[in-house]
Structure 1
Amino acid sequence: MFEKKVNIYNVFELRCKTTCYFGVGAIDKMRDISEYLSKRGMKKVIVVTDPVAYKVTGAWDVVTKYFNQFGIEYVLYDKVTPNPTVEQIDEATKLGKEFGAQVVFGIGGGSPIDTAKSVAVLLEYEGKTGAELYEGKFTPEKAKPIIAINTTHGTGTEVDRFAVASILEKEYKPAIAYDCIYPLFSIDDPQLMVTLPYKQTLYTTIDALNHITEASTTLARNPYSILLAKETVRLIATYLPQALSNPNDLNARYWLLYASAIAGISFDNGLLHFTHALEHPLSAVKPDLAHGLGLAMLLPAVVKEIYPFVAEILAEVYEPIVPGLEGKPGEAEKIAKGIEDWLFNMGITEKLESVGFNEGHVEKLTELAMTTPSLGLLLSVAPIKAEKEVIARIYRNSLKRM
C-alpha cells in the first residue's frame, strides 16, 4: 500500500475551493492564518464551538496562543449541540454582531463548523434569521471569512460548501449549499482526533462512507466523484478497525481523516441523494440521534433499492467491503446484506426499531423527507425516481436487520 511511504508529519496544502492544511501538526498553521488575518486588519473574530471539543482536543491552547501573538480579539460561543438548531445560529450571530466580528472560526466537527458557516452568512445580512436562511427565504451571495478547525473525520464540511441545521418546531433539518460558505482556510490535524470516543469515531466515519455512496451514484455523478469514492471505501475498510482498536494510532486517524476530506470533495462535486435526505427527518424528530448512526441504519436498504440501476459503480466502489460482486442487478440483496454485516462487525448493531422508530412512524418520516426545505433537491438527483413508495420502503426495510 502506497500510504506506508507517506510521511504523516508532512503538513501539506490540500487545495480545493478551500486551502486545507492537512497532516499531523497542522494545528500550528494557526500561526500563518492569524498572521494572514492580522495583516489584513481582520482582528476581531467570533469562535463557534461546542462545550467540549475545542478544549479536550488541545486546539484551543494553540488558537489562543496565536490570537494573542497577533493581537486578534475574540468572543466565544460554545453552546453548539449535535444537530445544531437555528436558535443557536441566531444566538451566535447576535454575539458576533455585538462584538463586531470580521471573521468566524468554527472549531469542532460538522455541527460547530456548519453553525459557523451559517453565522458567517447572517453577519452580512442585517435582520435575517437562521430559520429564514434554512427555509430558503433568501439566497446569500456573501459571508464573512470562515476558518474551520476540524476535530472529527466524517463530515467533510471543512472542505465543502454545505451546512445543516434543525428547525425544531417544524421537525425540519434542511441543508444549504452556497459558494460563499467555503472556508477560506481549514485545518485537518489527526492529532486533534485521538480523543474522539469510540462511537464518535465509528459514526463520523460512516458519515463519510455515505457521502461517497451517494456522490458516486447521483445523476450528477462524474469520474472525479467516483474515483474519490473508491479510494474512500478502501481507506475506511483498512483503517477504521485500526482506529477503533487503538484510538491513539495517528496513522489510522490520518488516513480516516484523508478519507473524510476526499469524501467531502466527492459530494461537493457529485451531490447526495437518498441516505442523507432520509436521515435528516430521523434526527429532526429525535435530535439526540447521532447523524452517522441514522445514516448507518438506512444505508443497506438504500443500496438495495438503487443497486440494480448503478450496479457496475457500486460493485467496484464497495469491493473492499463486499468482495466478489460482478456488477449485476441481481446482486442487490447480496451487497445490501454484505454492507449490513460489515456495519454490525464494526459495532453498529442498531436498526430503526432499536432507537424508537416503528411502522407507525414511516408515513410521517416519508412526508418530512418529501417536504423539508432543500431535501427535494437531493431526492431529485437520486439514481431512481424518489417516489413516496420508494422512500417508505427504505424506511420500512431499515426498521429491522435484513
Structure 2
Amino acid sequence: MWETKIPINEVREIRVKTTVYLGVGAIKKIYDIASEIKQRGLSKVVVVCGKASYIKTGAWDDVKKALDDNAIDYVLYDKVTPNPTVDQVDEATKLALEFGATGVITIGGGSPIDAAKSVAILMKYPDKNARDLYEYKFSPDMAVPIIAINLTHGTGTEADRFAVVSIPEKDYKPAIAYDCIYPLYAIDDPALMVKLPENQTRFVTIDALNHIIEAATTKVASPFSVLLAKETVRLIARYLPQTLAHPGDLTARYYLLYASLIAGIAFDNGMLHFTHALEHPLSAVQPNLAHGLGLAVILPAVVKQIYPAKPEILADVLSPIVPDLQGIPAEAEKAARGVEKWLFTVGVTEKLTDIGFKETDIAKLTDLAFTTPSLDLLLSLAPITADRKTVETIYRDSL
C-alpha cells in the first residue's frame, strides 16, 4: 500500500484557493462576477486573450455584455500566442497601465491565462518588466485581481498559482509560482470547449495526465495529491476516447474539464518534476510545439526512470491505463511500455525525432533543463536523483 510510503512527520500544505464555477452554462456566472467586482470599485480592466478562440467559443459575447451592463470599461489585448513570450506580456502590461486598468480578465487556455497572470503582477510593479519577473530578479507579493475564463481542459492554471512564459532569445521557458496570482474567480464551462481541434483535445488532456503523474511522485507529494491523481487517470481513461469520437459530447467534456481542474490542484499541492522540467526546453527551442505533445513524447521514459522509486503509488494511479501492475520496482519497463501503448491508443505516436529533434540536440536540451530559471527546483523534487546522466537518458530514450 502506498499509504505507508507517505512521510507522516513531514508537514504538507493543502491548497484549494480559487473559486471555480464548473458546469455547462458556467459562463453566465460572469454577470455575477462583473457585478461583484464593480461593487468592489473595479471599473477598468484589461482583457487578455489569444487571437480568435475567445470569439469563436462565444465566451466574449457574455464577457463583453457583462462588462457593458456593469459599466466596466475595458481594453483588449488579443495577441497572446501558444507558448507566450515576455514581449507579449510587456506589451499587454503597457496597454493596461496606459488605460488605467486595475484588474485583469483573461479568456483562453493556458497561454492567455499564464500571460494574464504575469500582466497582473507587473501592473503592480510598473518599474519591472517580464524578463525581470521570469529571470527571478524580484519576488512579487502583489497582483491586481484576476478573473479567468478557461477554454481548454488541460492546464489547471485557472485554479493554481503557476504561470509559464518564454524568453525567446535565451531559449528559456521558466515557470513562476506566487500566491498573488491565484485567480479570484474562474469559469470552467465545457460548452466553450466543444470546438477544440482533435489534436488539441488530445494534447491538453495529456498535459493534465502529466501533472498528476508528477504531483503524486514528487518529494512533497501528499495523500491529497495522490488521491486527485487516481481520479484524474480514471476520468481521462474513460472520457478521452469518448470525446475524441464524439467532440460535442458535453458529459465527456465536463469530466475531462473536471479532471484537468483537479490535476491542476494536485500539482499546486504536490508540485512537478521531470516531465515538465524536460519539456520546457523542447517548446522553448521549438515554440510551435504543443506543450502536451512534448510531454507525451517523454512521458514513457520518465515513468521508466521514476517507477522503481515509487512503484506502489504509480501502480495504483496508472491502473486504469496500465492494468496488472503489482507495484514492484522490477516492472518499470512494463509500466513505461504500458503508458506508451495507451498514448498510441489515443492517437499520440510521435517521438522526438518525429518533431524535429536529433541526438545532437540532447546536450543543449540538457543544458537548458539545468540553466533555465525555475527548472532546477522541479528537478530537485524528483523522486530520484536528477543528475545530468538521468536527464540525458530520458531525452535519448525519447528519440
What TM-score does the superposition give when structure 2 sets the normalisation length?
0.96
Shift, 1:254, TM fit = 0.2
1:339 alignment counterpart? 339
Match status 1:287 vs 2:326: no
> SS of the residue aligned with 1:385?
coil
Given residue 395 of structure 1, which amino acid in structure 2 is its aligned partner? Y
> SS of the residue aligned with 1:124?
coil
> SS of the residue aligned with 1:172?
coil
Shift, 1:206, TM fit = 0.2
Match status 1:73 vs 2:73: yes
> SS of the residue aligned with 2:154?
coil
Residues 291-348 of structure 1 show CA distances to partners (whole Å, capped at 9, x for unaligned) of 0000000000000000001000000000000000000111111010111011011011
Shift, 1:373, TM fit = 0.2
Match status 1:173 vs 2:181: no
Distance 1:270 1:53 in 2: 31
Distance 1:90 1:153 in 2: 27
Distance 1:195 1:102 in 2: 32
Given residue 124 of structure 2, which amino acid in structure 1 is its aligned partner? E
Which runs of no fewer than 5 residues in structure 1 stay unpaired?
Answer: 1-14
Shift, 1:393, TM fit = 0.1
Which runs of no fewer than 5 residues in structure 2 stay unpaired?
Answer: 1-14
Aligned length, in residue pairs: 385
Shift, 1:355, TM fit = 0.7
Residues 123-170 of structure 1 show CA distances to partners (whole Å, capped at 9, x for unaligned) of 000220101100100000000000000000000000000000000000
Given residue 289 of structure 1, which amino acid in structure 2 is its aligned partner? L
Match status 1:396 vs 2:392: no
Distance 1:363 1:164 in 2: 23
Distance 1:376 1:122 in 2: 24
Counterparts of residues 3-402 of structure 1 (less than 5 Å): 16-399=16-399
Distance 1:40 1:126 in 2: 23
Shift, 1:265, TM fit = 0.3
Distance 1:281 1:293 in 2: 13
Shift, 1:16, TM fit = 2.5
Distance 1:184 1:16 in 2: 12
- Displacement over 6 Å in runs of 4+: none
Given residue 269 of structure 1, which amino acid in structure 2 is its aligned partner? N
Shift, 1:41, TM fit = 1.5
Distance 1:272 1:122 in 2: 25
Shift, 1:185, TM fit = 0.3
Residues 18-72 of structure 1 show CA distances to partners (whole Å, capped at 9, x for unaligned) of 0001111100000110000111120100000000110011000000111111101
- For the aligned residues, what is the CA RMSD? 0.7
Given residue 55 of structure 1, which amino acid in structure 2 is its aligned partner? I
1:11 alignment counterpart? none
Residues 361-386 of structure 1 show CA distances to partners (whole Å, capped at 9, x for unaligned) of 00100000011000000000100010
Given residue 311 of structure 1, which amino acid in structure 2 is its aligned partner? P
> Equivalent pairs: percent with the same residue?
66
Residues 242-289 of structure 1 show CA distances to partners (whole Å, capped at 9, x for unaligned) of 000111000000000000000000000000000000000000000000
Distance 1:258 1:200 in 2: 17
> SS of the residue aligned with 1:147?
strand
Distance 2:127 2:24 in 1: 41
> SS of the residue aligned with 1:149?
strand
Shift, 1:76, TM fit = 0.3
> SS of the residue aligned with 1:34?
helix
Distance 2:126 2:239 in 1: 46
Distance 2:103 2:359 in 1: 46
Distance 2:195 2:62 in 1: 16
Distance 1:344 1:88 in 2: 35
Shift, 1:349, TM fit = 1.1
Distance 2:40 2:309 in 1: 51
Distance 1:96 1:114 in 2: 16
Residues 55-103 of structure 1 show CA distances to partners (whole Å, capped at 9, x for unaligned) of 0110000001111111011000000000000000000000000001111
What TM-score does the superposition give when structure 1 sets the normalisation length?
0.95
Distance 2:210 2:126 in 1: 36
